[in-house]
A and B are shown apart, each in its own frame.
Chain A
Amino acid sequence: MNIELALQTFLDESRELLSDMEQILLDLESQPGESELQNALFRCVHTVKGSAGMFGLDHVVDFTHVVENVLDRLRAGEIKLSKALANLLLRCRDHISLLVEVPEPAEAVDLQPAGNALLVELEPFQSLPASGNGQTPQPQNSEHGKGDLWRIGMRIQADALRHGMDPLGFIRFLGTLGELVSVNTLDDGLPRLDQLDPEACYLAFEIELRTTANRAAIEDVFEFAGDLYQLQLQEPGSAPEAVAAPATTDMDIVEAGSREGKMQPADQADAQRGRRRKPVQHFRVQADKLDHLINLVGELVIASAAVSLDADRSGNSTARESAANLNLLVEEIRDSSLDLRMVPIGETFQKFQRVVRDVSSELSKDIELVITGADTELDKTVVEKIGDPLTHLVRNACDHGIESPAERSQKGKPALGRVHLNAYHESGAIVIEVSDDGSGLNRDRIIAKAVERELVRADAELSDREAFNLIFEPGFSTVEQVTNLSGRGVGMDVVRRNIEALRGAVELVSPGVAGGTTFRIRLPLTLAIIDGFLARVGEATYVVPLEMVVECTELSAEQQAVSNEQHYIKLRHEVLPLIRLREHFSHGGERSRRQNIIVVRHGGQKAGLIVDELLGEHQTVIKPLSGIFSHLKGLSGSTILGSGQVALILDVPALMHQVAQHEDVANRGIHPNARPRLSASYS
């Protein structure tokens, strides 16, 4: 075998791993406790040690073994990566990189003193004193010159064959230790043909082996077959007796074997180790089990509402009371089960340490990421979907928010820029803020750009807030110089769309909380439940997400007359575009005499929904739309009311978008490609 070639591979690989190790140690300084990093760190050293062992590079193995031990404890959470330990590990890394370049253990003596000094420093972080190189003992030949006769009884668990642990291989291998004097195959365990499980092992063996090997060497043959084989070894010279006495009934061997297999000493030791380490605080649940539970709870909420309704109708006060009790419990169950899916946002935030680190080095800026509110919880399904928009905002803050170091020092600011991620709960929603301490937005430049892009008319009067939020319009960009980072064709409009898809909203504030700009994202705590406002149109019931409802009011006769003619209405000095749900969803029938308007707001725009009747607030569990409705635009889901009736949940952003496209564009000075214009510019 060409050992030189393999050794070269080992060297290349080790150099690479050690350079990874350095990087990971640095990353861990900014992301302490990041478990993936700690695992990767362990793997680096682990692989170097493993490979070195194969080449007999004991000097590398001996040293890395101790480092590996420390890293193993680190990833198990038994010790923390202090600054001191990080520095020590970096020095160990440097030492390992010297060691791997030495091809022979004997030549490594020069490095020994330095290595020993490091080992002494590592001592406090170790669980056990350094225990040699961790090599499995080699089979040792006994001192007796000639072979002894060993009797070996082999019982085999039923599923040994299924694991590929065929006794034939082991018996053949025993033969290589010496001479197989006799093999007795015990087939008394075989059941009748019609009861035979052809994949199970029913055989046991008695073997006479003449060998110079000692007991350990013989046991070693079966070592890695674990609990599948039970051996009985009879010392040479002792009286021969049946050590693997054949079972008298068909299944005895198998059953005895599998019973013993239930709780092997190894398993017990593992269980104890697990208990000792730390009290169990979490256990993993498959995500789809949780989703299934939450679906069921949704059904339960609906069923319980139906029970209440029936109880109310029955006029039976006992039934009503029971139903009310049931309702309370169901609400608690609903809240608790939704709570199961809540996870702290911290983990998501932590990932941005690396993003900021990478981006700032790409841009030659000095930026630190500050995280607050990491404990704030939100629904797992929301967390999974918020990563992309957040990444964009964080990159944007580094790229466009934070000034170059030169610019900062000119302004008398510290060279170190700061991006701040913050999260908190506010009235049933989670708010996530991405702030920077950069220069903030230039209002005039934004308006100029928006006018140039025909997103807004030059004479439009915009509040600061409206002006700043123009950057979420499609095709808007204030950067004159397209940098590496922003030149990826993804604009703020995509960020807004992603967030709106989560029934959330994003706005921009400047100057923000840290002086520069702040992007503020509001998201519902969960996507499974919606606080809605119920309204009736003809026979159908619609649900408007409550967070979008500004106000509800009955239309006066005069307003009603106007609204019949026009596509907009003036409500308290504000012109609102109108969406007539009756027409939009092609309901037949007569318009009711009285009409109501629900004013909704989304993404800084308002619109009025015309409905027949207002039915009030209702909390409901969202179900996906079934096939017949899924083609309808403007609906985001459905729910079942306590009465068993289906109510449709309105997709307000989509409705508003559709309406905007139908609007008379010339009249409002807005480019047809733009989103619905800002309501303020009507006044």
Chain B
Amino acid sequence: MGKSILIVDDSASIRQVVSMTLKGAGFEVIEACDGRDALSKLTGQRVHLMISDVNMPNMDGLTFLREVKSRPEYKFTPVIMLTTESAEDKKMQGQAGGAKAWMVKPFQPQQMLAAVNKLVGP
């Protein structure tokens, strides 16, 4: 059974590419289109890694991060935040206490896979 990864992004194409890349590498992937959607899809199952966009409608990435980290079953799950080089996003990085991993968009699928492998192993 492959390790399970959650991808949260409001862009369907990013979700699709990330999802295909990760599935191709043997991971199981859960997709969600925003923070709220993601929270509803996390029902206590084991998730090895979460990848979340910052800037999303309904529930942004930082709020999602805060919410998910408050759940005991996901407290220690690594989260990669997808960000941009914009000043606003950089400022947000400073505010995101629970996030230590940031990946700047745009990225190549292989870069994502590498990051995932660092955190949860190949």
Genuine A/B complex: yes
**A433 sits at the interface (CB 8 A):** no
Interchain CA distance A258-B21 in the complex, whole Å: 36
Contact of A56 among B84, B98, B108 (CB under 8 A): B108
Is the beta-carbon distance between B85 and A165 smaller than 8 angstroms?
no
Interchain CA distance A199-B12 in the complex, whole Å: 36
Given contacts A1-B20, A76-B88, A274-B91, contact A176 B105 (CB under 8 A): no
Interfacial chain A residues near B13, Cβ < 8 Å = 6-7, 9-10, 13, 51, 54-55
Is the beta-carbon distance between B108 and A225 smaller than 8 angstroms?
no
Interfacial chain A residues near B78, Cβ < 8 Å = 163-166
Contact of B11 among A1, A47, A274 (CB under 8 A): A47
CB proximity of B49 to chain A, nearest CB, Å: 7
Closest to B94 in A: A270
Is the beta-carbon distance between B88 and A13 smaller than 8 angstroms?
no
CB proximity of A141 to chain B, nearest CB, Å: 15
Interfacial chain B residues near A271, Cβ < 8 Å = 94
Is the beta-carbon distance between B84 and A53 smaller than 8 angstroms?
no
Is the beta-carbon distance between A173 and B118 smaller than 8 angstroms?
yes
**A210 sits at the interface (CB 8 A):** no
Contact of A55 among B17, B55, B84 (CB under 8 A): B17
**B90 sits at the interface (CB 8 A):** yes
**B117 sits at the interface (CB 8 A):** yes
**B16 sits at the interface (CB 8 A):** yes
Is the beta-carbon distance between A176 and B119 smaller than 8 angstroms?
no
**B80 sits at the interface (CB 8 A):** yes
CB proximity of B81 to chain A, nearest CB, Å: 9
Given contacts A169-B121, A224-B115, A270-B90, contact A54 B10 (CB under 8 A): no
Interface residues on B, range: 35 or more
**B44 sits at the interface (CB 8 A):** no
A-B contact count (CB 8 A): 152
Contact of A172 among B77, B82, B90, B121 (CB under 8 A): B121
Is the beta-carbon distance between B119 and A2 smaller than 8 angstroms?
no
Is the beta-carbon distance between A170 and B93 smaller than 8 angstroms?
no
Question: What string of 1s and 0s marks CB contacts (under 8 Å) between B70-105 and chain A?
Answer: 000001111110101111101101100011111111
CB proximity of B113 to chain A, nearest CB, Å: 11
Given contacts A56-B108, A61-B106, A274-B91, contact A165 B86 (CB under 8 A): no
Is the beta-carbon distance between A1 and B21 smaller than 8 angstroms?
yes
**B14 sits at the interface (CB 8 A):** yes
Is the beta-carbon distance between A224 and B94 smaller than 8 angstroms?
no
Closest to A40 in B: B57
Is the beta-carbon distance between B21 and A165 smaller than 8 angstroms?
no
Is the beta-carbon distance between A54 and B107 smaller than 8 angstroms?
yes
**B2 sits at the interface (CB 8 A):** no
Is the beta-carbon distance between B118 and A169 smaller than 8 angstroms?
yes
Interchain CA distance A532-B82 in the complex, whole Å: 56
Interchain CA distance A221-B117 in the complex, whole Å: 10
Contact of B98 among A10, A53, A163 (CB under 8 A): A163
A121-163 residues with Cβ-Cβ distance < 8 A to B are 133-136, 138, 160-163
Is the beta-carbon distance between B17 and A47 smaller than 8 angstroms?
no
Closest to A73 in B: B87
**A49 sits at the interface (CB 8 A):** yes
Interfacial chain A residues near B11, Cβ < 8 Å = 13, 47, 50-51
Is the beta-carbon distance between A68 and B84 smaller than 8 angstroms?
yes
B14-28 residues with Cβ-Cβ distance < 8 A to A are 14, 16-17, 20-21, 24
Interfacial chain A residues near B45, Cβ < 8 Å = none
CB proximity of B64 to chain A, nearest CB, Å: 15
Question: What string of 1s and 0s marks CB contacts (under 8 Å) between A209-228 and chain B?
Answer: 00000000000010011111
Contact of A47 among B10, B49, B88, B100 (CB under 8 A): B10
Interchain CA distance A226-B79 in the complex, whole Å: 13
Interchain CA distance A168-B78 in the complex, whole Å: 13
Interfacial chain B residues near A266, Cβ < 8 Å = 93-94
Is the beta-carbon distance between A49 and B10 smaller than 8 angstroms?
no
By a beta-carbon cutoff of 8 Å, the part of chain B in contact with chain A is 10-14, 16-17, 20-21, 24, 49, 55, 57, 75-80, 82, 84-88, 90-91, 93-94, 98-109, 111, 114-115, 117-122
User: Can you list the 8 inter-chain pairs with the closest CB atoms, starting with the nearest?
Assistant: A53-B106, A164-B78, A10-B13, A50-B105, A1-B20, A72-B86, A270-B94, A173-B118
* Given A10-B13, A267-B94, 20 new contacts (CB under 8 A): A13-B11, A39-B55, A43-B10, A49-B105, A49-B106, A50-B14, A53-B108, A54-B109, A72-B86, A72-B87, A75-B88, A76-B88, A134-B85, A169-B121, A172-B117, A173-B114, A173-B117, A224-B101, A273-B91, A277-B87
By a beta-carbon cutoff of 8 Å, the part of chain A in contact with chain B is 1-2, 5-7, 9-10, 12-13, 39-40, 42-43, 46-47, 49-56, 61, 68-69, 72, 75-76, 133-136, 138, 160-166, 168-170, 172-173, 176, 199, 221, 224-228, 266-267, 270-271, 273-274, 277
Q: List 25 A-B contacts (CB under 8 A).
A: A1-B24, A6-B17, A13-B12, A43-B10, A43-B55, A50-B11, A51-B11, A51-B14, A54-B106, A54-B109, A56-B108, A134-B84, A134-B104, A135-B108, A136-B107, A136-B111, A162-B75, A162-B76, A164-B78, A169-B118, A172-B121, A173-B118, A176-B122, A224-B80, A273-B90
